[in-house]
Amino acid sequence: MCKEKLDKYDKIVIIRDMKKLILGFITMLGITFSSAGDISLDFAAEDQQFYRGLGRAKDAYSTTLSTNQEFAGFGLNASASLVADSESESHFGVGLSRPVKLGSLNLLAEGQFRYHQFEGVLPTSEEVGVGAWLGTSFADVGVHFWSDLEYEWEGIEVTAKKDLAIPSIKNLTLSPFVTLSWFDAYDAVHAGVKATYALKDNTDVYIQGAYADNDIDVATFAVDEEIFWSAGLTFKF
């Protein structure tokens, strides 16, 4: 009897979460096609994902649909990502951004909400983040505060990145980056370079190599000075 109740409860939870996933897709697609903006569809293969300073899916394949829109002076972005490795994951995000002038500095302030659903032992989680980007001649620098509402981790991430066109190779862009993370339960570093080649005006192919390390005590998320590779194809509409 107890097992039947548990099975029924599991089915209710699955149905509830599936409704959230479907609602997320519908909401994002409604935003996408209701106004003019940038839309992209990305297919990627990764030996391991590294997200918010944590090791995630290994030997994974992902499909991501994302959009950036302009509305009433704000930038509006949304994304939906499906990840498949030995188990499946779903990730959804929405965010708002707006240019802000702070003295002589021109900043892009933004707020983000992310929803993560995992198959298996990891619980569904939500996170919120606020921060800003500053464009300089050296690099684009971002500082963000993140709070995970499920794991109750809070912390700051600092990112520097730069897109560099390669004059000797037409249509090739190198994008080095480094992200430093300081959270309640761990610190992390993620640094690498992404090489993107424009096949057409609306199609890019890319490969990325990155170094990652953290000091978290949870084996599921631990990464010890590893090198990760990924490759993918992006279509822009």
* Among 152, 156, 164, 237, CA closest to 201: 237
Q: CA angle at residue 143 from 139 to 148, to 5 degrees?
A: 140
Q: What is the DSSP letter of 124?
A: P
188 CB-side CA count, 13 A: 29
Environment class of 31 (CB within 10 Å of its CB; exposed 0-12, middle 13-18, buried 19+): middle
pLDDT in tens, 182-205: 999 899 999 999 999 999 889 999
Q: What is the DSSP letter of 225?
A: S
Query: Mean pLDDT for each 10-residue chunk of the chain (237 residues)?
Result: 43 47 53 64 93 89 91 90 84 94 91 88 87 94 94 93 93 97 95 96 95 92 94 94
Q: Is the pTM of this model over 0.85?
A: no
At residue 124, the pLDDT reads: 85
At residue 121, the pLDDT reads: 65
At residue 220, the pLDDT reads: 85
| Dist CA 46 CA 59 (whole Å) | 6
Letter string b/e over residues 93-130, b meaning 16 or more CB atoms within 10 A of that residue's CB: bbbebeeeeeeeeebbebebebbbbbeeebeebebebe
- Token couple for 131: 């921060």
Q: What is the DSSP letter of 4?
A: H
Please count the structural domains in the chain.
1
Q: CA angle at residue 47 from 25 to 224, to 5 degrees?
A: 115
Amino acid (1-letter code) at residue 22: I
First to last CA, the chain: 53
At residue 189, the pLDDT reads: 97
3: left (phi over 0), alpha (psi -120 to 50) or beta: alpha
Expressed as residue numbers, the domain containing 100 is 2-236
At residue 15, the pLDDT reads: 42
* CATH number of the domain enclosing 102: 2.40.160.40
> Is there a contact between 156 and 169 (Cβ–Cβ < 8 Å)?
no
State whether residue 13 is helix, strand or coil.
helix
Q: What is the DSSP letter of 123?
A: P
